[in-house]
Structure 1
Amino acid sequence: MAIADTQSGLYTWQADNLVAATQAVKGQWHHLADDSHHNHDNQIQATRIITDTRKIEAGDIFLAIVGEKFDGHHFVEAAVQKGAVAAIVSSVNDKVTVPQLQVADTRLAFGQIAAYRRQQHSDLKVIAITGSSGKTTVKEMLRSIFIAVESEASQDNTNQAEGHSTLVTRGNLNNDFGVPMMLLELENQHQYAVLELGANHVGEIEYTADMVKPDVACILNIGTAHLGEFGGRDNIAKTKAEIYQSLSASGTAVVPADDDYSEQLTQVAKQYTQHILHFGWQQLEPETQAEAGSLPEVYATEVTTGALQSEFVLNFAATATTEAVALPVKLPMAGQHNVSNALAAAACAYAVGIVPEQIIKGLAQVTSSKGRLGRQQFGQHQIIDDTYNANPNSMRAAADVLAAQTGVKMLVLGDIGELGDAAANEHRELGATIAGKHIDVLLCVGEFAPHTIAGAQSAGMTQDQAQAFATKAELLATLKALIEAYEQQQQACTLLFKGSRSTTMETLIDDLLGAS
């Protein structure tokens, strides 16, 4: 049996549990000392399995991943030189003498090892999240909620700051490589895990969800992110719904009530569990929704969104065992989309047993991560950095946030990627939508910038208000000139920057600030 490092709380990998974890890929040891007087269990003691030789430390196990443009087997010797005590490979390297676990496929072995690690953590509450937008924000909201729970339980300021009890997906480690990487970071002290599951193709979420075995599976929305890769929203919905397949009968499916795929997602979820929570808010009176049978189990009423925060009443509908609860929330984030994100986070937390009072405390303390509507002053002006990524839904949400600000409202956009044949039309529709949102200036850069501007001008924006640029340098020159002209008129501006990750729109912010 494997043991735990009692000082660090880390899991210990040994010869026997690695074989057990990789049975499905025919794991078999080579160069493992054959001594009948000693237990193989004690020949390898490692707390880390590393796929990147640059991160190898003495005592680690190296896993040789094979990708489209690289082969980790070329680095086995380098890993051993840096102190790796064993390697997991699909072909044995006889130039090194450390034990090597040979498997049929090292990438699949990575997933199997991660799934095995998850199974050893039977008390862990796992929330898996997917959706076309909002995943990072919901993760941070849940992190904040669990920090509030931990703080109340321990009254330990250090724990409160670091959130030791919760593992949360870092960055975009949400694919068939990133998810196992996160699972291998599980420690004995973790009580909760919030794991993001992304997809670039049909079947990917099914694979990672089966690895994660979530207690709660949540879909935030069905948008148009990666539209070109899936060929339509129907396929996106089908792929996202794979997250429900790994639920046990006791698990909970969280479904977006306001999404136009809500009924379809609900029907899929019902195939795996009867525990379903819908979240949403609509500008109807609760009584009207209740009469129509459309009142979600977790919903918002009395919603107001301002330039810096949102306020609403968070409602949990009555169940057979609980009474209805309604509590006011002050969310330090702007935008209606963040109200929806908060409802999703609340539903997930509620599903793992967090009481409403702790949920609203955590939501009140949540902070934006870098590139997610972060704010900074630029002289008399304000910059809103929402450059982390973009899709059509999040672009519209960002425009709503900007429209709620003060001063001259300037929206600076890069292209939305991965829209395939729908790209031109999606950008044109985006421009038309923006034109109706009380935004003063729209500046766009990139291949599809002319389409966005054409849509905006067709819906009423003038050539001076909406302009397209081929390069960031050209856009920056115009932006500086506009800001200077508004300053001469003693008008302050609020500038919001956004674009897909590939457009690196944050460099425009850096150039603008650097020129000041």
Structure 2
Amino acid sequence: MIASMALSTLGDMTRGALIGNDVEFTGVSTDSRTIKDGDLYLALRGEQFDGHGFVDQVSDRAVAIVVEEKQSVSLPQLIVGDSREALGFIGRYCRDQFDAPVIAITGSSGKTTTRKMLSAIMAMVGEVGATKANENNEIGVPKTLMSLQQEQCSAVIELGARHIGDIAYLGRFVHPDVSILLNAGSAHIGEFGGYENIVKGKGEIYDVLSDEGVAVVNIDDKAHKTWLKKLDGKRVLTYSIESDSADVYAKNISLHASAAVFDLCFEDDCVRVSLNAGGVHNVSNALACAAAAIALRVSMEDIAQGLANFKPEGGRQALIKLNENLSVIDDCYNANPSSMKAALDVLAAHGGNRIAVLGEMGELGSLAGEMHRELAQYASELPVDEVWLLGNFALEMASELGEKAKVFESKSEIAEALAQLSDLPATVLLKASRFVALEEVIELFRRGQA
């Protein structure tokens, strides 16, 4: 933690009941297996776990506990109505001690890639605190805030959401100086209950801005007018890959298999950017990062160099060479209709034989069948040679794709089919929602080649 915190301070924030002596803590643990001497132990509850059952195991190491019911231990304890919210308030306390700017990012797709891009830009200025892995929920966000340090020059925080109110909840702890909303697509549409709710829910990131905060708005998104209307009176920076009327825009875009080159423009200044990621969607993500950095007075030259330093991580369109002729675009981390189409566009930019291996997209609710069929129609119109399908909607998609389609029953069958490809160069896209774990195809292929 950036500073010590008194248990009574947390009690004031949560309106909890303090039993025993007031103590200070500089570390927080929610896991009895990893708690350190002097940490505060915070007992979380979930559908399949209850941290209250481990209070006895931490009593010799914890300085105090935060619980939802009084425990029979001699430790100081704070009894709260919601221990997850208490974790959030600890995060907010740490955020308030952090003097550098905080940037929050949300959107239906592209959050993690944008966070990595922006972190690379801000690293040109100094050390950066940022979300790790996919810790963008009500537990991960407070933990990220607790990890911030005074020597860092900025913090880049990713916010995820599945329901209206999720971003508002997380945002009151983050209290960002810059808010980026990348897009409103159909990811988690089944959980949100419709597109209009996604627009509203994602737009909450602008409601939690600090008083002097800057909103970064994508005017290429069809919901941008809704967001701009609610931002009347706020400082706004817009960005676009389609219109030079935006504050930040791109021109002279040149897309390659695993890269993009473009002119980044703001006011009367343009710099050439070389990005180690393909697809026009990644150019858009880069513009969002540039707008946020401009809001924080980072130079155009540092922005361009930071974007050049960015490297995609595994599972997010990382290009993997399986053998001399076979390359895989590993984009298996997650999927929704928008990100699926963007990944297919990246595949289409490659040369040689192009094969899309597509698994199921989750959390689409009653629209799942329709959206899988629409994706198949989109793929049918691209210069992709074959589309290999896996999952509950494979047959429906195959009917839209015709001769391009091949339906598989398992990931092992797909790995075997990859091994039987001819010696001609081929690029294979692997893309599906997280629960499919389509990246296992790569390991199965490698085992078969050993």
TM-score where L is the length of structure 1: 0.84
Task: Map 1:303-382; keep pairs closer than 5 Å.
Answer: 303-317=253-267, 324-379=268-323, 380-382=325-327
Secondary structure in structure 1 of the residue aligned to 2:124 = helix
Write the deviation string for residues 172-221 of structure 1: whole angstroms up to 9, x where unpaired.
Answer: 21122221121111222222111111111111111111111100111001
1:425·1:451 contact (CA, 8 Å) conserved in 2?
no
Distance, in Å, in 2 between the alignment partners of 1:370 and 1:178 is 20
Task: Map 1:114-125; keep pairs closer than 5 Å.
Answer: 114-121=91-98, 123-125=99-101
Counterpart pick for 2:194 among 225, 232, 254: 232
Counterpart pick for 1:250 among 202, 212, 216: 212
Deviation of 1:24 after TM superposition, in Å, equals 4.0
2:3·2:97 contact (CA, 8 Å) conserved in 1?
no
Give 1:427's aligned residue. 372
Residue identity opposite 1:509 in structure 2: I
2:36·2:62 contact (CA, 8 Å) conserved in 1?
yes
Residue identity opposite 1:204 in structure 2: D
2:383 is the alignment partner of 1:438:
yes
Distance, in Å, in 2 between the alignment partners of 1:80 and 1:369 is 40
1:131·1:220 contact (CA, 8 Å) conserved in 2?
yes
Counterpart pick for 1:89 among 54, 67, 70: 67
Q: Which has the larger radius of gyration?
A: 1
2:234 is the alignment partner of 1:274:
yes
Give 2:26's aligned residue. 47
Residue identity opposite 1:31 in structure 2: G
Deviation of 1:248 after TM superposition, in Å, equals 3.2
Secondary structure in structure 2 of the residue aligned to 1:389 = coil
| More displaced stretch, 447-456 vs 127-136 | 447-456
Residue identity opposite 1:84 in structure 2: A
1:18·1:113 contact (CA, 8 Å) conserved in 2?
no
Task: Map 1:106-185; keep pairs closer than 5 Å.
Answer: 106-121=83-98, 123-150=99-126, 165-185=127-147
1:28·1:103 contact (CA, 8 Å) conserved in 2?
yes
| More displaced stretch, 349-358 vs 432-441 | 349-358
- State the superposition RMSD in angstroms: 1.5
Distance, in Å, in 2 between the alignment partners of 1:247 and 1:384 is 36
2:356 is the alignment partner of 1:411:
yes
1:22·1:113 contact (CA, 8 Å) conserved in 2?
no
User: CA 1:118 to 1:22, structure 2 compared with 1: closer, same or farther past 3 Å?
Assistant: farther
Q: Gaps spanning 5+ residues in structure 1: where?
A: 1-9, 33-39, 151-164, 287-294, 318-323
2:2·2:97 contact (CA, 8 Å) conserved in 1?
no
User: CA 1:249 to 1:87, structure 2 compared with 1: closer, same or farther past 3 Å?
Assistant: closer
Give 2:429's aligned residue. 496
Deviation of 1:98 after TM superposition, in Å, equals 1.9
Distance, in Å, in 2 between the alignment partners of 1:201 and 1:246 is 16
Distance, in Å, in 2 between the alignment partners of 1:359 and 1:12 is 31
Secondary structure in structure 2 of the residue aligned to 1:401 = helix
Write the deviation string for residues 468-497 of structure 1: whole angstroms up to 9, x where unpaired.
Answer: 22322333333333x1xx22xxx1111111
Give 1:396's aligned residue. 341
Deviation of 1:45 after TM superposition, in Å, equals 4.5
Residue identity opposite 1:433 in structure 2: Y
Residue identity opposite 2:67 in structure 1: V
Identity, % of aligned positions: 40
Write the deviation string for residues 103-151 of structure 1: whole angstroms up to 9, x where unpaired.
Answer: 2321221112211221122x2201011000000110010111111222x
Secondary structure in structure 2 of the residue aligned to 1:476 = helix
TM-score where L is the length of structure 2: 0.96
Task: Map 1:464-503; keep pairs closer than 5 Å.
Answer: 465-481=404-420, 483=421, 486-487=422-423, 491-503=424-436
Give 1:37's aligned residue. none
1:22·1:112 contact (CA, 8 Å) conserved in 2?
no
Counterpart pick for 1:71 among 47, 50, 64: 50
1:433·1:456 contact (CA, 8 Å) conserved in 2?
no
1:85·1:98 contact (CA, 8 Å) conserved in 2?
yes
Give 2:16's aligned residue. 27
1:430·1:455 contact (CA, 8 Å) conserved in 2?
no
Write the deviation string for residues 346-385 of structure 1: whole angstroms up to 9, x where unpaired.
Answer: 1111112212111111001100111111122222221111
| More displaced stretch, 408-417 vs 172-181 | 172-181
Residue identity opposite 2:12 in structure 1: Q
